[in-house]
Amino acid sequence: MASAIVLINVEIGEEENAFNKLKEIPEVDEVYMVYGVYDLIAKVEAPDMTKLKEIIADKIRRMPAIRSTLTMMVVEGYKKG
């Protein structure tokens, strides 16, 4: 399994719209609307790195309201519980 955390900036006023569209992408495991430098944070999971890159490039970065992204590929993780 390949995972990434994607920090997302959207057009002003499009935060909720983009949030809802991200929730519709099956590979988006988690999405948060936040205040600060970024507007949204998404955790994306896919079976392999090729599919993960495809989802980020083709499904997330091409959304009309997305202004910019910063992607952090997960190399190791731990989830409590």
> Residue ranges per domain, the chain?
2-67
Fold of 2-67: Alpha-Beta Plaits (3.30.70)
Q: What is the pLDDT of residues 68-81, one digit of tens each?
A: 999 999 999 998 98
Q: Which has the higher per-residue pLDDT, 81 or 59?
A: 59
- Report the relative pairing of strands 2-10 and 66-73 from DSSP bridges: antiparallel
Label each residue of 5-69 as H, E or C.
EEEEEECCCCHHHHHHHHHCCCCEEEEEECCCCCCEEEEEEECCHHHHHHHHHHHHCCCCCEEEE
Report the chain's C-alpha Rg in angstroms. Answer: 12
Q: How far is CA 20 from the centre of its chain?
A: 12
pTM, two decimals, is: 0.94
